A and B are shown apart, each in its own frame.
Chain A
């Protein structure tokens, strides 16, 4: 029981990070029907930017942790959003209306470019961040078992919950969200109603990158190290999460992220650490065999 609860904490933390990244995949897929393979690397860039911004803040004397973290969050979000916007602008928009595989190839190129660029600019080695947030809670000591929840884990899960709530509100209730969904369903009709489709697509990339940068900061705080390669691994996992939840579906991406995180941790805890990725992907395949649209995805065929 104690062990189980502890693994649950790990799983939820990891799942939160995956979920935040997965939203970027699913939103971009929803609006332009393309897998943005560079999204994982945008997450990695977000983690690096968080680290750099934090070090700069410390260098100029802002060391009070809550203030520093808040500033890092905001600045890294803005800078990463700029990356997301730029990626769309130079790698995908010129290819709109081109054959279907063109932007996909371009995305892979962008992914490799971002990895190499960070590798050259920052070096190939792990970059450490000294523990910024320390301490935590112990639960259940009275009942005879203890579960540790660190403050970092708490911050990650709470931030994710808040962000996802805000985000659902933006997509569900605001004019931008409505325009965004309209573009997903029928871009031409959206334009006929005065929606600037290019701008809406740009903003979708910006939103996705913003969430990815938060995930990057969380990853940095949690693991304490980053390198240029973390985007690839996390990107593949988050993409898997988006597909598992049903690509194009926002609640699906959140659910998928959580599930992948939980599966990975529990498999590692109860079966074998070496096979945890195999477990995650096997479950993905099994789900897709029986539910080709993912857990919360919608069927392709609509009543007309």
Chain B
């Protein structure tokens, strides 16, 4: 089997003196959807940001597509066909939807801008209706769509998705998950998904990791994890 697209080994990260990640090993193979589930504050979002060097990992290594990116500045990582739709969406509220999308396309030098824009509008027709509206005036679901579309505008091979269902109506969340599944199936987009909604995430993903307190405690096939009693007890029953 070929080397994973993204490979983390023994990654630690700190906020001041507090260890947020305590030696994390994760592999994401090309073409996979891999999910990371865990409780609030387990370190999932920190891991996503650490992959992008903000904060940088203190120990361990992060290898993407054969290249060690552990010490690379954030903006250079962003130019390696790896994109992130971060926690809290982080839409530029005082920019129009179009400008937000242009921000995503900037790393490609706008080489396929028109084509990609049409594609995004086909996937998320709501964004087309709102194209000239300011990002800050969109609803939560629309902002999430915009965050994903903005990430996709950079034509990534690997998409990091942090809590795309947070705060969304179940129907909207479902729609977003189905978009992710389609992109993976039809275009071979590799996805690393962080979710609190463990049930949906594990059903969608090929493989999953469970994070507790900055450590990976369990990993396996998505379906298989869904059946594990400790996962059911901690993240599914009553939590859904």
Where the two chains meet, the residues of A that have a C-beta atom closer than 8 Å to any C-beta of B are 175, 178-179, 181-182, 185-186, 188-197, 298, 302-304
B86–A193 contact, CB under 8 A? no
Complex Cα spacing A124 to B96, Å? 51
Q: Beyond A182-B92, A186-B90, A302-B93, is A193–B104 a contact (Cβ under 8 Å)?
A: yes
A193 with B78: CB separation less than 8 A:
yes
Give the interface SS of chain A, mostly helix, strand, loop or mixed. helix
- Say yes or no: B95 contacts A194, CB within 8 Å: no
Contacts of B235 in A (CB 8 A): none
Check: B126 CB closer than 8 A to any chain A CB. Answer: no
Are B106 and A192 touching (Cβ within 8 A)? no
Q: Which residues of B, 37-55, contact A by the 8 Å Cβ criterion?
A: 52, 54
List of B residues within 8 angstroms of A185 by Cβ: 92-95
Q: Which residues of A contact B76 (CB under 8 A)?
A: 194
Residue of A nearest to B135 (CB): A185
Q: A182-B95, A191-B73, A193-B150 are in contact. List 11 more A-B contacts (CB 8 A).
A: A178-B99, A179-B103, A185-B92, A188-B74, A192-B52, A193-B106, A193-B107, A194-B76, A194-B78, A302-B93, A303-B93
Interface residues of chain B, those whose CB is within 8 Å of chain A, are 52, 54, 73-76, 78-79, 84, 86, 90, 92-95, 99, 102-104, 106-107, 136-137, 150, 154
Q: Please give the distance in Å from B192's CB to the nearest CB on chain A.
A: 14
Question: Given that A178-B106, A185-B95 are known contacts, is A195 also in contact with B75, CB under 8 Å in the complex?
Answer: yes
- B86 x A175 contact (CB < 8 A): no
Q: How many A-B residue pairs have CB under 8 A?
A: 70
By beta carbon, the residue of chain B nearest A303 is B136
Contact yes or no, B106 A191, CB < 8 A: no
- Across-interface contacts of A175 in B (CB, < 8 A): 102, 106
Complex CA–CA separation, A142 to B52 (angstroms): 71
Residues of chain B with a CB closer than 8 A to A194's CB: 75-76, 78-79, 106-107, 154
Partner of B106, one of A179, A181, A188, A302: A179
Query: Can you name the residue of chain A whose Cβ is closest to the Cβ of B78?
Result: A194
Q: Once the chains bind, are A178 and B136 in contact (CB under 8 Å)?
A: no
Known: A186-B90, A193-B106, A194-B107. A181 touches B74 (CB 8 A): no
> What's the minimum C-beta distance from B74 to chain A, rounded to whole angstroms?
4
